[in-house]
Amino acid sequence: MKTSICRFDTPDAVAGWYAIDDRVMGGVSASRMAFHTKGHAVFSGSLSLTNNGGFASVRSPLIASKSMGGAACLLTVRGDGKRYKFSIRTGAEFDGVNYQSAFQPPAGEWTTIRLAAADFVPTWRGRVLDHLPPLDPSSAQQVGLLIADRQMGPFKLDLRVVELVD
């Protein structure tokens, strides 16, 4: 079974997404999630290491359901050759545990990336938490995208859909 949790085919699809960049700690990186008129979302911005910065991210609340499945997430994306992370938070709080899985889509071509639930790593403020249970994607309350890992300069990731699959 496949369930769409984020479909970016209308301007309203990006309305709930907001940026959380290294500016929260004095950095100067900037990102945004915007709708493209060709019917997809664009996560873009610029990553800087100035003032000990180095990350840019966007996230959105999500209401998941136990009936949604959850063995893996499928992301239909077009990348720029850089490495990104897809994140799932199982709590509604601003600063809590964040399950992340990295992916690096090929530059300039649409592709579907499969991120197995077992490959998501629980983190808090970038630190791995080894003592937590594996991710259950059906308990997702927030989803997000992140770029970090000293990949300075402009970035752009196009997205069509995020789906959960059994």
The domains of the chain are located at 2-165
Taking only the tens place, the pLDDT of each residue in 1-16 is 788 889 999 999 999 9
Average pLDDT of the segment spanning 49-74: 83
Please list, in sequence order, all residues whose beta carbon lies within 8 angstroms of the beta carbon of residue 105, skipping any fewer than 6 positions away.
77, 78, 79, 84, 111, 113, 157
pLDDT higher than threshold 80 for residue 40: yes
Taking only the tens place, the pLDDT of each residue in 88-127 is 998 888 888 999 999 999 999 999 999 999 999 999 888 8
Asked if residues 7 and 62 have their Cβ atoms less than 8 Å apart, the reply is no
Asked if residues 78 and 57 have their Cβ atoms less than 8 Å apart, the reply is no
Q: Output the pTM of the full model.
A: 0.92
Taking only the tens place, the pLDDT of each residue in 126-156 is 889 988 989 988 788 899 999 999 999 999 9
Q: For position 67, what pLDDT does the model report?
A: 53
DSSP string, 102-128: EE-PPBTSEEEEEEEGGG-EEEETTEE
Q: For position 93, what pLDDT does the model report?
A: 83
CATH superfamily of 2-165: Galactose-binding domain-like (2.60.120.260)
Helix (H) or strand (E) holding 20: none
